[in-house]
Structure formats: structure tokens, C-alpha cells
Amino acid sequence: MAQRPGSAGPRPLRDREAALELADRVVGFARGAEQLEAVVVASEGTEIRAHRGTVEHNVSSSEAAVGVRVVDSGRTGVSWTDVLEDTALEQCVAEARDNSRFSSVDENAGVADPDGVVPTVLERSATGPTDPGVRAKVDLALQIDAGVFGADPRVVGHEGADYLDVSELFAVATTTGIRASSRSSIAQAGTWALASDGDDTASGFGLSFGHRFHEVDPVEVVEEAVRRSTSMLGAVQVPSARMVVVLEPYVTSELLAAVAPMFSGESVLKGRSPYAGRVGEAVAAEGVSLRDDPLDAAAVGAVEVDAEGLATRTVDLISDGVLSGFMHNSYSARCLGTTSTASAVRAGHRGVPGVGPAVLTLAPGTDEPAAILASVDDGLLVTELSGLHSGLNTVSGDLSVGVEGRRIRNGELAEPVREVTIATTVQRLLADVIAIGCDHMRFPWESAGVTLAVAEVTVSGH
């Protein structure tokens, strides 16, 4: 691929129109009837880690690059470059064109076509103070570092106080007439605290995030890490049984992010979704509604256009317990005879787009979390999962993961619990939902969470 030898890359583009003009220049190198897609990604960010008063890691980085996809007679080729001069851009297109000659013919291959949907302008809460500079970010990490050690004598350590921010500009143009751009940003801080009481130790995380630095709260990070770690001291196993399991919003969010491929048209196309062929059927309890909401401006995953340049929109997946449909990019939609839901995603500027959510969420219910807990006579509040990705089979829906949390007795939280496993299927879990909290919470990844109570879950302890 065309690269600049010995260079860390150019200074990122900061203007949408400049990025679109760069994409237009690349599209201008297309020949004949071939389709060409040019993707421009420019980003800059900071990573900081502090530990015991010392800054162990402090790196600022920036990147600007172009990815090219050429489709000719059903054959697809890709290439990319971080050299943004015309000679290098034309060479990058030539390499993508040459690569296409070695690919297999796929009659459904092609870049996206415009669908006439106008992008929604997201009014983000992040409009506020400008970037405060690296010194302020270092100070924030050091504040978390000191705060964890000073908050509770039982806290004896932490993995490191981390701060991260990334700002990204995305633009795409195609020979089919797409010309679109978007911006995204995230700032977050977190740590894992270690608590000890005699021979017993426990850990817990703290996290705060937003679109910009001023939305990150170091006090919130410290308080959450200390609370989670100290609350697990003295944890025990529970007897194996079937019981009500209540998932915290954080846990629900983690679970939704993991099961997202089950609702992807790409998985349906490959025969890897247990929900294939079930649109219109009841697949969850009444009241359960699952959707991807990329227009939730308060979420860090919110985005105006997808990775192919189509205007994003709310995608209903389950509506009141009934399967409504799947997420699609242009390719999966073309193969399955439907239309794109503007759910194309990319991991950077290289390769072809996949399918995935921006902000996958369960519609909040009306129950207060405290009321949900009070309604449970005998159950388990899950505050942390372990082994989720190895314990979840998205083809069959089988789920077996380690959990920790608190026992629930007579509607009240009791002793902490760990070293237990819950076993079910995603299909069964959604069908056995008995309460949905009103506490919709966003997280710094592609899913949000609510408190969720599920009946008759198998819990394996001693």
C-alpha cells in the first residue's frame, strides 16, 4: 500500500468540507464503469496513565488517511494511504483497481447508492469549553490516582488511573453520488481499584465519560471504583438454584454489545443468527423493545451518517416482544432483497464495511430500580460479568458466564457473591424478562443499558 516512509503521518484535517474535497479528488480518479468509494478519516487523541503519583504514559497522536474501494464487474479491491498528495492518491486507486482483479466475482458487490434520506444534524451536549490542553488531562489522571488511595483504608492499590480522548472526522464520497461527513468525539477516565480486608481481596472499576473533557468527572470515577471494590469484600458462592437475576444497566449494556451480531443482516446472510427467518414472530417478553438509535445525541456513539455515507436512522429490531427486522449495510441488504438501514460500520479506513449498531438499547420501562429489587424475594443482582465473549455463542444463543454481585433476599440486598455462573440462552433470557427499569444509562461503547429482571435463570455455585 502507498505509505510515507519514516513519517508519523500528516496533521489531521479539521474541516468537513476539506475532507469531502479530498474524497472528491480520489473519486475523480475512477475509470469507466467502475464504482469507487473514497473514505477519509482524520483523528487526534491523547492517552495518559498515572500510578502512585507518577505519569507512566502520556502520548498524543494524530492521523489522517484515505481508504479506497473499487468495484468493477463484481470484483472488489481495496487500498489505503496516509500520503494525501495527488500522485499518491492516484497510486492508491490504481492499487485498489489492481487488487480487484484477483478477487472473486460477487454479483451483489458494490458501493452504496443514495437513498434520499437527509442526515439529521445532531445537537450534541459537548458544545462547551475547548480542549484544555495536556496539562489539565494529566492533572485529572493524577487526581484520580490520589483519590483512590485516599478514599478508603481498605483500598490498597489500583491498576492505573487512565484518561483517554479521541476526536475523529469522517468523510466519504462515491461515484454513485454519495457525499457525506460526520464528526465524533469521546473523552473518558477510569480505573480498577483493589480492596483488601485480611486475606480477602476484591476489585472494582470506576468510569466517567462524555463527548469532551469537561464532561469527565474524576470524583465519580473514584467513588464508583471504591464502592465497587469494597462492596465485594467478603463475597461468597451461592447454592446452585434457579432464581430471579437482576442485571445492572452496565451489565445489560455489556450483554447487548455482545449479542448485537445476532441482529445483523450480515449474520443472517452467513447463516449465523438464531433469529433468521423469524421476523414477525414473538422472540421476547411483551414490553421488550430493542432498537439501534444512532440519533441519540447524548450518546458518544451517535453519528449522522453510517460508514457508507447514508443518513442514520432509528432501527427497530424487537418491538414489544416481536422481531421487527435486522440491521443492514448496502451489501447485506442487496443480498437479502431489502434496503440498507444505514448500519454500516468500519474499523478505520481500511477494508470494506461491516454491519453493526451505533447505540443499541432496550427501550426503558416504567419501574424504578429500587422497586424492581424490592419485588424480588430470592434472587441475585449481577454487577459484573466475566468470560462474556468466550461464554456467548451468537450462532446458537447459548450463554454461560461468570458473574459477581449481591444476593437479594426479601427485596433487600444481602451478602456479596462471586465465583458463580449463570447459564441460559439469549432467546430464553429475553423471553423471561419480568421487569425493565426506567434508568436508561449510556456507556462509552455501542450500547446503552437499563436495569433488567429475568426470571428462572440457572445459577451455579456450590
Task: Tell me the CATH number at 224.
Answer: 3.30.2290.10
Tell me whether residue 333 is in a domain: yes
pLDDT at residue 4 is higher than 90: no
Exposure letters 32-51 (e unless 16+ CB within 10 A, then b): eebbbbbbbbbbbbbebbbb
Domain boundary among 177, 209, 231: 231
Domain co-membership, 257 together with 225: no
Domain co-membership, 217 together with 274: no
Nearest to 179 by CA among 27, 297, 70, 33: 27
Domain co-membership, 260 together with 215: no
Domain co-membership, 248 together with 355: yes
pLDDT at residue 228 is higher than 70: yes
Domain co-membership, 414 together with 318: yes
CA neighbours closer than 13 Å in the CB half-sphere of residue 346: 24
Q: Residue 351: its pLDDT value, please?
A: 85
CA neighbours closer than 13 Å in the CB half-sphere of residue 201: 7
Domain co-membership, 294 together with 355: yes
Residues 447, 226 contacting (CB under 8 angstroms) = no
Q: Which of 128-137, 317-326, 331-340 has the lowest mean pLDDT?
A: 128-137
Q: Residue 207: its pLDDT value, please?
A: 97
Show the cell assigned to 32: 469507466
* Nearest-10 Cα torsion for 236, 239, 244, 245: 40
Helix axes 16-27, 86-100, angle to 10 degrees: 50
* DSSP three-state, residue 202: strand
Host domain of residue 138: 134-164+185-231
Residues 4 and 144: their CA atoms lie apart, in Å, by: 39
> Considering the entire predicted model, what is its pTM?
0.92
Q: 293 pLDDT band (50/70/90 cuts)?
A: very high
Number of domains in the chain: 2
Q: Residue 131: its pLDDT value, please?
A: 85
Tell me whether residue 261 is in a domain: yes
Q: Residue 129: its pLDDT value, please?
A: 62
Q: How does DSSP assign 129-175, residue by residue?
A: S----HHHHHHHHHHHHHHHHHH-TTEEEES-EEEEEEEEEEEEEET
Tell me whether residue 445 is in a domain: yes
Domain boundary among 200, 231, 262: 231
Residues 79 and 351: their CA atoms lie apart, in Å, by: 8
Residue with cell string 462547551? 128
pLDDT digits (tens, 9 = 90+) for 233-269: 999 998 999 999 999 999 999 999 999 999 999 999 9
Nearest to 193 by CA among 207, 179, 182: 207
Tell me whether residue 110 is in a domain: no
Domain co-membership, 210 together with 306: no
Sorted by sequence, the CB contacts under 8 Å of residue 412 that are 6+ apart come out as: 373, 374
Tell me whether residue 416 is in a domain: yes
Domain co-membership, 420 together with 273: yes
Residues 420, 403 contacting (CB under 8 angstroms) = yes
Q: Residue 3: its pLDDT value, please?
A: 36
Residues 197 and 206: their CA atoms lie apart, in Å, by: 20
Tell me whether residue 146 is in a domain: yes
Tell me whether residue 49 is in a domain: no
Domain co-membership, 150 together with 259: no
